[in-house]
Amino acid sequence: AQSVTQLGSHVSVSEGALVLLRCNYSSSVPPYLFWYVQYPNQGLQLLLKYTSAATLVKGINGFEAEFKKSETSFHLTKPSAHMSDAAEYFCAVSDWGNNNDMRFGAGTRLTVKP
Amino acid sequence: EAGVTQFPSHSVIEKGQTVTLRCDPISGHDNLYWYRRVMGKEIKFLLHFVKESKQDESGMPNNRFLAERTGGTYSTLKVQPAELEDSGVYFCASSQVGTQGQYFGPGTRLLVL
């Protein structure tokens, strides 16, 4: 069975600092991996996805994530945090060709301090 | 283009009552999914429609939950009778068949008292 684990339910960074949100996956088959963001009172918005092309995936709002098979990780990073990045971030995994079988992590709430 | 919409945005009901949640997917999206997030926990898959057919309903908690998608357009999720543990945020998502990545609605926040 597939699963993802997000390390840290809360992460706090200063504005301008590096953002690093951790996600490790477990999958018996090559996975599709996703990062979603949820801003207050809004739905989940797809940030980026890994679908077996480049291992370094660039998403919206300056975020990127690197698929590392040896570490079973898909950490989300942004070089410089902005106040508007404050939100909850979810990592998710699904297997190839099975778009419905998506498993989410518990979420990481990012706080950005001025 | 309109995104996935859900109605109502919030619902507060008493234990034993019935609630019906509605989801309108993005036009042309045959895949429609329901998820639930209980407070502080992960988002869990409930079920998946392809057009009007239930592709996978393995995540439905019990038979108090009934999902329909008549005509393959909008979907409803009925909870009858509601219990306290049904409280949470219910998300709907849609996607085109053959693509990866789902588009989510804003969710319905259900509180059962």
pLDDT at B39: 83
pLDDT at B8: 96
For residue A22, the model assigns a pLDDT of 97
Q: What is the mean pLDDT of chain A?
A: 90
Q: Which of B91, B101, B107 sits opposite A34 (nearest CB)?
A: B101
| pLDDT of res. B113 | 96
Mean pLDDT calculated for residue range A90-107: 79
Per-residue model confidence (pLDDT) at position B67: 97
Strands (E) located in A59-107: 64-68, 73-78, 87-95, 103-104
Q: How confident is the model at residue A100 (pLDDT cuts 50, 70, 90)?
A: low
End-to-end CA distance of chain A: 41
pLDDT at A43: 84
Q: What is the pLDDT of residue B41?
A: 84
Residue ranges with strand state E in B1-113:
5-7, 10-13, 19-24, 31-37, 43-50, 53-56, 65-68, 75-79, 88-95, 103-104, 108-112
Q: What is the mean pLDDT of residues A17-43?
A: 90
Please judge whether B100 and A99 are an interchain contact, meaning their C-beta atoms are less than 8 angstroms apart.
yes
Is B44 an interface residue toward A (CB < 8 Å)?
A: yes
Q: What is the pLDDT of residue A20?
A: 97
Q: If contacts are CB pairs under 8 Å, which of residues 2-31 in chain B contact chain A?
A: 3-4, 6, 31
pLDDT score at B33: 94
Q: Is the pLDDT of residue A98 over 60?
A: no
| pLDDT value of residue A99 | 56
Residue A1 and residue A101 in contact, taking contact as beta carbons nearer than 8 Å: no
Question: A41 — contact with chain B (CB < 8 Å)?
Answer: yes
B50-74 pLDDT per residue, tens: 999 998 898 999 999 999 998 889 9
User: How far is A46 from chain B, CA to nearest CA, in Å?
Assistant: 7
Residue that wins the pLDDT comparison between A100 and A37? A37
pLDDT at A101 over 80: no
d(CA A12, CA A15): 10
Residue ranges, chain B, pLDDT below 50? none
Q: Are A110 and A85 in contact (CB under 8 A)?
A: yes
- Can you give the pLDDT at residue A30? 76
What three-state secondary structure class fits A83?
helix
Per-residue model confidence (pLDDT) at position A96:
61
